Amino acid sequence: MSKNGIYLCEGCGIADAISIDGLESLAGGDLGVATCRRHAAFCSDEGVALIAADVADGSVDRPIIAACSQRVMEDRFNFDGAHVVRANLREQVAWSHAPRDEDTDMLAADALRMAVAQAGKSSAPTAGVNTEVNRRILVVGGGISGLTASIEATRTGHPVTLVERSDALGGWARKWSRRLPHRPPYRDPQDNEIEGLIGQIEENSSITVRTGVTVTSTSGMPGAFEISYSDGAGETVGAIVVATGWREYDATRLGHLGYGASPDV
């Protein structure tokens, strides 16, 4: 079980703006923290020594430092064997809200409560583990977005598995003779380039195409996702691109914008 300790800093105008007495009562009351100390400046040598002593004697393993932003004093508040949690009372409370105001005190109390909750639900980060990253990319969806993503991925040196649930690539775009303009001057429908994209996919030896299957499960982590397919096969990939298409929007829901009411919409 974690041993929390709360350290209430009074420096940098914090004690001038909020009630440290109130936070001290909260710590020993509703929050049930056995160790609670206050100091004029916990970033001072004396203040750091107080926290270090509690960590060293085993009474605290999760010091909750209610003081300045966690973006500063990181080196000062670094204690071997302890998981440090910061409650920002300086920038987010004392310096940015009305001093000696009930709402400001309530905000400070909430910040302390959140820090205690964080301490109870988190742990110190573990050292990084060097693992091999799988370079294969899974692209789910064989429409124009999935085809484009697959081609671009291979251009950066990644092998690709392209999965499409239907029996053919192309998606919605394969059903159209022309497509919406995507190049200037954006006036007229453009030729449908989907067959050309499909041809590039079929000619690319770095792309494995799987049609008529779906992804049934994924597990693992970035760099090592375990994939299972509906046909019973599976593989490991490093990243997943989801390009599963779209559904036509029900334009009748846009009546307030003139749809169905104005011939110009």
CA distance 77 to 63: 9
pLDDT digits (tens, 9 = 90+) for 7-44: 999 999 999 999 999 999 999 999 989 899 999 999 99
The predicted-structure confidence for 80-107, as pLDDT tens digits, reads as follows 889 999 999 999 999 999 999 999 999 9
Domain covering 137-252 in this structure, CATH number:
3.50.50.60
Interval 107-117: pLDDT, tens: 999 999 999 99
Predicted structure pTM score: 0.54
Annotated domain spans of the chain: 4-121, 137-252
pLDDT tier, 1 (very low <50, low <70, confident <90, very high otherwise): low
Identify which of 165, 176, 160, 178 has the alpha carbon closest to the alpha carbon of residue 238: 160
pLDDT in tens, 165-213: 999 999 888 888 888 888 899 988 888 889 999 999 999 999 999 999 9
pLDDT exceeds cutoff 90 at 231: yes
Task: Express each pLDDT in 121-146 by its tens digit.
Answer: 888 777 766 678 999 999 999 999 99
The CA distances from residue 258 to 115, 244, 263, in Å, are: 50, 31, 9
| The two domains 4-121 and 137-252 share their CATH topology (first three levels equal) | no
Task: Evaluate whether the domain defined by 4-121 bears CATH number 3.40.50.
Answer: yes
User: How does 156-189 read in b/e, with b if 16+ C-beta sit within 10 Å?
Assistant: eebbbbbbbbeeebbbebbeeeeeeeeeeeeeee
What pLDDT is recorded for position 129? 66
